[in-house]
Copies of this chain bind each other. A is one copy, B any other.
Amino acid sequence: MNLAEYIDGRRDEHLAELCSFLRIPSVSAKTEHKQDVERGARWVADSLRNAGFKTVEIVPTNLHPLVYAESLEAPGKPTVLFYGHYDVQPAEPLELWTTPAFEPAVRDGNLFGRGTADDKGQVHIHLKALESLQKINGKLPVNVKVLIEGEEEVGSVSLWSYVQKNKEKLKADALLVSDTSMLAKGVPSITYGLRGLNYYQIELTGPARDLHSGVYGGAVPNPLTILAELFAKLHDKNSRVNVPGFYDSVATVSKAERKALNALPWKRKEFEKAVGAPGYFGEKGYTIVEQLWTRPTLELNGIWGGYTGEGAKTVIPSKAYAKFSTRLVPDQDPHKIAKLVEKQVRKLLPDTVTCKFEVLSTGKPWSASFQAPIFKKAQSALEKGFGKKAVFIREGGSIPFVTQMHDTFKVPCVLIGFGLPDENAHAPDEHIALENYFGGIKAIAHFYADLATL
């Protein structure tokens, strides 16, 4: 029996197993889910053992455990390191899910549930691809190291210190990641660039206590208004980020690359359908694809303050809060950008409020040359899995680990995503197309097999 037939014969089994993985609410951002995250780690470890990995470790950390496994039974063959994460984003707002976030359900050829696309579904593609190779051949065609963490959605804090302490152990000829998206349905894609991410939180304090807006309104600073005025000043009229120095280190994208990116089968109509906004805008002078993949941003992710309950409360609150983030592109330095952002925020604020400024996480951007032979292997494996030629794309999202690994080990990083841009990663009704999940297992199994002749 060949590889594709073997995998096709096990679709129901694979899907049922993925659903059991998705039912674990491994939300890394929330303390109340700490036990669930640990359960997620044990599930991954068990699954790796079933795939034939003899060395499987659950590594405790200061926050959530990571899972490491290795199979080094292919002497003389290349060694690859597969990275993924088993933690997920919070599911809120819960009421906007058609079916509950942690009760996976199939509708119209899609599997719905938190983590289907980001990243449990894609991790499972690798687990099942490796398991299939193991079952058919009795061993893996290459040496494989696996590192699956539980803190990706909260900044991968523990992962990095683990890598620093285990450089020799983790050494590999290439890094494989599946935590990205295909350009569009039916367009298998290999990602060669990611944006970095800094995440911030600010707390403004005006009056020392909440005040009656009738008794005090008109003569006291309202931190909500000051928060609004601050964020109104952080972009100019061309949607450029108004932080001095913010663009100083942004590397120019070559004419040839811009041309190639704009020639991709990317459809504005599909993009607008996925977003569903009444209108669009972005940084002047760039196409949407360029805005999304090659330009940095500053984005509000949450604001709150004052009375937000039912009905009316005439209050001038003492405090106003915002969570916001900057997406970064080569060659912006996250720590330098964090300093510039804090400096500008403090400069723009009036002296009628005090400001607590926190950097919750930082992450570097990354882009690579896709001329290395391994990229060609990836392209041909995807063609075997999907029957279509793969394209090379960049992405707007961030996987700090990729940059860190690239910087540390100086090896090619190959990002093969099986999500789709409209699959609501980080939002209600997250899902993955079943054709990409099943096609992904086949493509990835072929990829591991083909790497034997790299």
Binding site for B on A (CB under 8 A): 28-31, 89-90, 92-93, 96, 118, 153-155, 181, 195, 197, 199, 205-222, 224-225, 227-233, 235, 271, 275-283, 288, 291-292, 295-297, 299-317, 320-321, 323, 325, 327, 350-354, 360-361, 395-398, 421, 424-429
Pairwise interchain contact B351-A279, C-beta atoms closer than 8 A = yes
CB distance from A95 to the nearest CB of B (A): 12
Pairwise interchain contact B213-A327, C-beta atoms closer than 8 A = yes
Query: Which residue on chain B has the smallest CB distance to residue A210?
Result: B427
**A309 — which chain B residues lie within 8 A by C-beta?**
29-30, 90, 92
How many copies of this chain are found per oligomer?
2
A167 to B350, CA, bound (A): 51
**A316 — which chain B residues lie within 8 A by C-beta?**
299, 301
Contacts A213-B325, A301-B315 known; 9 new A-B pairs at CB < 8 A:
A206-B277, A209-B276, A218-B282, A224-B301, A227-B228, A229-B232, A299-B316, A301-B314, A306-B323
Query: Which residue on chain B has the smallest CB distance to residue A305?
Result: B303
Instruction: Name the one of B205, B207, B222, B426 contacting A211, with C-beta atoms under 8 angstroms.
Output: B426
**A395 — which chain B residues lie within 8 A by C-beta?**
214-215
**A297 — which chain B residues lie within 8 A by C-beta?**
213, 217-218
Instruction: Name the one of B96, B199, B308 contacting A304, with C-beta atoms under 8 angstroms.
Output: B308
A220 to B272, CA, bound (A): 9
Pairwise interchain contact A222-B288, C-beta atoms closer than 8 A = no
Query: Which residue on chain B has the smallest CB distance to residue A352?
Result: B279
**A220 — which chain B residues lie within 8 A by C-beta?**
275, 277, 280, 282
CB distance from A348 to the nearest CB of B (A): 11
Instruction: Name the one of B197, B207, B305 contacting A314, with C-beta atoms under 8 angstroms.
Output: B197
A305 to B350, CA, bound (A): 24
A112 to B275, CA, bound (A): 50
Pairwise interchain contact B154-A312, C-beta atoms closer than 8 A = yes
CB distance from A155 to the nearest CB of B (A): 7
Query: Which residue on chain B has the smallest CB distance to residue A421?
Result: B215
- Given A215-B395, A288-B219, A304-B304: A311 in contact with B351 (beta carbons within 8 A): no
A314 to B152, CA, bound (A): 12
Instruction: Name the one of B224, B228, B425 contacting A215, with C-beta atoms under 8 angstroms.
Output: B425
CB distance from A64 to the nearest CB of B (A): 12
CB distance from A344 to the nearest CB of B (A): 15
Pairwise interchain contact A214-B396, C-beta atoms closer than 8 A = yes
**A323 — which chain B residues lie within 8 A by C-beta?**
306-308, 312-313
Pairwise interchain contact A209-B278, C-beta atoms closer than 8 A = no
**A351 — which chain B residues lie within 8 A by C-beta?**
278-279
Instruction: Name the one of B30, B216, B232, B321 contacting A292, with C-beta atoms under 8 angstroms.
Output: B216
Q: Can you list 20 contacts pairing A with B, beta carbon distance less than 8 Å?
A: A29-B310, A89-B313, A90-B307, A96-B210, A207-B275, A207-B276, A212-B424, A212-B427, A215-B425, A218-B282, A218-B297, A225-B231, A228-B300, A279-B352, A279-B353, A280-B352, A301-B316, A303-B306, A311-B360, A315-B427
A153 to B271, CA, bound (A): 46
Query: Which residue on chain B has the smallest CB distance to residue A293?
Result: B218
CB distance from A114 to the nearest CB of B (A): 12
- Given A214-B396, A302-B307, A313-B301: A278 in contact with B352 (beta carbons within 8 A): yes
The 5 closest A-B pairs by CB, nearest first: A208-B276, A214-B397, A232-B232, A29-B311, A302-B306
**A29 — which chain B residues lie within 8 A by C-beta?**
309-313
**A28 — which chain B residues lie within 8 A by C-beta?**
311
Query: Which residue on chain B has the smallest CB distance to residue A233?
Result: B232
**A354 — which chain B residues lie within 8 A by C-beta?**
278
- Given A277-B221, A301-B316: A311 in contact with B30 (beta carbons within 8 A): yes
Pairwise interchain contact B299-A211, C-beta atoms closer than 8 A = no
**A277 — which chain B residues lie within 8 A by C-beta?**
206-208, 220-221, 352-353
